[in-house]
Chain A
């Protein structure tokens, strides 16, 4: 499913890789402050800072301008969960992913003495969607 999408991207934008690299990288620090959009397949959009999106390994690679993916140019990452079931909204799953990304990027920089409310985050994942979230999280490398 999602693997296909990624594979497609690799293949079709393989030739544009050199183009993107040639365009040169914007300043790293500059990049860190801009906003990116994460879209779910049923139309929900989440606009977050790039730093937050980088909590996900896959999205980090997608948005990396050196990586040559289309998402880097458009700054939109599409999460296509539950492709098979058209009735099932993927917005919920995407929302949980974004929630976790905010949680993670916030607490990554906290010092060793502070407590991280992991339990709180865990409780916010309802069991009804936990399996989908698990698969999505695994794909997103977070």
Chain B
């Protein structure tokens, strides 16, 4: 501090400095007070070192208003044991009475400084706030990093780095120059003042090193590991939804089941309960795991359905097969983890399997499929959805080996194409005298392009005879020609030549090209027997066509006319009650049990209802009243 005492050099001063000078605040006064407050849990008020140095120059010592803009001091308001009230009595020039009252009354750590009406500190306050934020965001770095002494220092952490005094500063105010001899305040011994000399806790004086240490404040002690402060950003209220979410009772029960899985008897007689319902309940939460699934395994099982096998890994599938060797019918939804090795086990260890239904077995490769098919020539049902690896070769194998195939679903296949259809037609279709026995064909949602009319017509001409259920949804290229040529043709021939029942169920949804004519054609030919009709997506069907359904579809039980824009209440009425023809009610779909009208804007809440009829999809029903 060579320039501390006798220089009269004044450099450019900030507003702060001016203010301090004007109010006669000097480091001396501050330091004195600070020194007495050492060891108490108080935020120290302080001046920045630079300022105080300059102040020393100018103002000399002043016992007058000892009031730094105590922006910093406010911070610790709630922690001070002796309020600053006593200090405040000394000054009045800032006229900050009201603030004092505020402060003493203020309970919380004031991050925002109360308004100070003193001239200078507008800037100071901003500084303070900013500094405060910075302060909270980082650990306190002492301005000079000198002599931090233990726990006391934590409270000085709150200090604004600009305004806090370093120890050395305080000490330097009253401390005799290093090297002098001093008498210890406690033990009266003489000791040499060093830069580590500590002020005595109560009252003036200085402690020798021994006494300082005895009082617990080791000057040499490294600064306490700085306490990490959370950045203000982190102090956001985090709403802990996920952590504290109450588990549902279903979840709890599943956990209990898992706990007791090995002790099957303790779980009660599962046979009397509806195993399917349990499987569904567990699948809803996606909580079926390799552990839980054991609940459903049984060597005597002939039928197994797992509605959500997502969490079953490849080895889990293998154990599934080993534990259920007598399966005749297997259905696995979402079996994405089923891969070649596991599927091999399917091939070898399920001798009795007649029907397999898989959703999402995309890992199974072509050779594996072929092996499986070869091993199961008795397959009657082969229903696969979503497998990009099942190609033409596999299909050839399938149709050549499994001649007894009754149900075939190749839904959402990437490789679906006309060739496929040709294969199917050639091999499964009836040729000449032999009848085909394919009853259920689902080739909807092809991955690539839709199949063309011609191929489908060809297909239908071969297998149409026995076909009971046909799903060709999402084949966008199908047009009226298909229906006229294909369906019309085969149903026509059905009736006349083979006397087989016409199509009972037709799902031609989402083929936007098909329109009124097609509908009329359908109704004309098989309308009287049609029980389930799905024309979802036929947006252009006209009113007349729709009414026609009512006129001809006597046996209709399930109707899906979603997104047929011309549907409205009156048509529904005509369907339910029959139409007025010359004064007499005629027609109508009396057997109708289920009617789906999703996306039909004109069907309102006022549309007629009938007991026994389940009406789905009226828009106004969906809007909840909360």
B193-212: contact bitstring with A at CB < 8 Å (1 yes, 0 no)? Answer: 00000000000000000000
Cβ of B246 within 8 Å of any chain A Cβ, yes or no, is: yes
Q: A7-B614, A122-B255, A142-B249 are in contact. Are A112 and B260 (CB under 8 A)?
A: no
A133 to B321, CA, bound (A): 29
Give the residue among A104, A110, A118, A127 with the most B Cβ atoms within 10 A. Answer: A127
Among the stretches B58-66, B272-280, B466-474, the one at the interface with A is B272-280
B246 engages A130 (CB within 8 Å): no
- Do A134 and B281 touch across chains, with their CB atoms under 8 A apart? yes
Residues from 1 to 55 in A contacting B, C-beta threshold 8 Å? 1, 7, 10-12, 14-15
Whole-angstrom CA separation of A112 from B272 in the bound complex: 42
Closest approach, in angstroms, between the C-beta of B434 and any C-beta of chain A?
43
Q: Mark B584-618, 1 if CB is under 8 A from A, else 0.
A: 00000000000000000000000001011110000
Q: Which of B220-264 contact A (CB under 8 A)?
A: 239-240, 243-244, 246-250, 252-257, 259-260, 263
- Nearest-Cβ distance from residue A16 to partner chain B, whole angstroms: 12
Knowing A122-B252, A130-B256, A130-B257, say if A138 contacts B272 (CB, 8 Å): no
Which chain A residues (106-125) contact chain B, with CB distance < 8 Å?
Answer: 107-108, 110, 112, 116, 118, 121-122, 125
Number of interface residues of B (CB under 8 A): 37
Range of interface residues on A (Cβ < 8 Å):
35 or more
Q: Which residues of A contact B611 (CB under 8 A)?
A: 11-12, 14
A84 proximity list for chain B (CB < 8 A)? 272
Asked if A134 and B253 make an inter-chain contact with CB atoms under 8 angstroms apart, the answer reads yes
Q: Within the assembled complex, what's the spacing in Å between the Cα atoms of A13 and B80?
A: 70
CA gap between A1 and B255 in the complex, in Å: 25
A131 near B252 (CB under 8 angstroms)?
no
Decide: A100 near B268, CB < 8 A? Known: A112-B244, A127-B260, A131-B257. Answer: no
B413-459 contacts to A, CB under 8 A, are none
- In the bound complex, do residue A11 and residue B612 qualify as a contact, i.e. CB atoms below 8 Å apart? yes
Contacts of B254 in A (CB 8 A): 134
Q: Interface centre among A84, A135, A142, by most B CB within 10 Å?
A: A135
User: Could you say which of A15, A112, A118, A133 contacts B240, with CB atoms under 8 Å apart?
Assistant: A112
Q: Is the interface of A mostly helix, strand, loop or mixed?
A: helix
B281-310 interface bits toward A, Cβ cutoff 8 Å, 1 = contact, 0 = none: 110100000000000000000000000000
Bound state CA distance, A118 and B246, in angstroms? 8
Inter-subunit contact B249/A135 (CB<8 Å): no
Query: Which residue of the partner chain, among A10, A11, A135, contacts B273 with CB atoms under 8 Å?
Result: A135
Is B272 a contact of A135 with CB atoms below 8 Å?
Answer: no
Contact of B284 among A97, A107, A138, A140 (CB under 8 A): A138
Question: Of B244, B266, B273, B278, which contacts A128 at CB under 8 A?
Answer: B266
Report B's interface with A, CB cutoff 8 A: 239-240, 243-244, 246-250, 252-257, 259-260, 263, 266-268, 270, 272-274, 277-278, 280-282, 284, 609, 611-614, 625
What would be 12 A-B contacts, judged by CB atoms less than 8 Å apart?
A10-B614, A14-B611, A100-B249, A100-B252, A112-B244, A127-B256, A128-B266, A128-B268, A130-B257, A131-B257, A133-B249, A142-B249
Q: A127-B259, A132-B268, A137-B248 are in contact. List 16 more A-B contacts (CB 8 A).
A: A11-B613, A15-B609, A84-B272, A127-B267, A128-B266, A130-B257, A131-B257, A131-B267, A131-B270, A133-B249, A134-B254, A134-B257, A134-B281, A135-B277, A137-B249, A142-B248
Give residues in A with beta carbon < 8 Å to B.
Answer: 1, 7, 10-12, 14-15, 66, 84-85, 97, 100, 103-104, 107-108, 110, 112, 116, 118, 121-122, 125, 127-135, 137-138, 140, 142
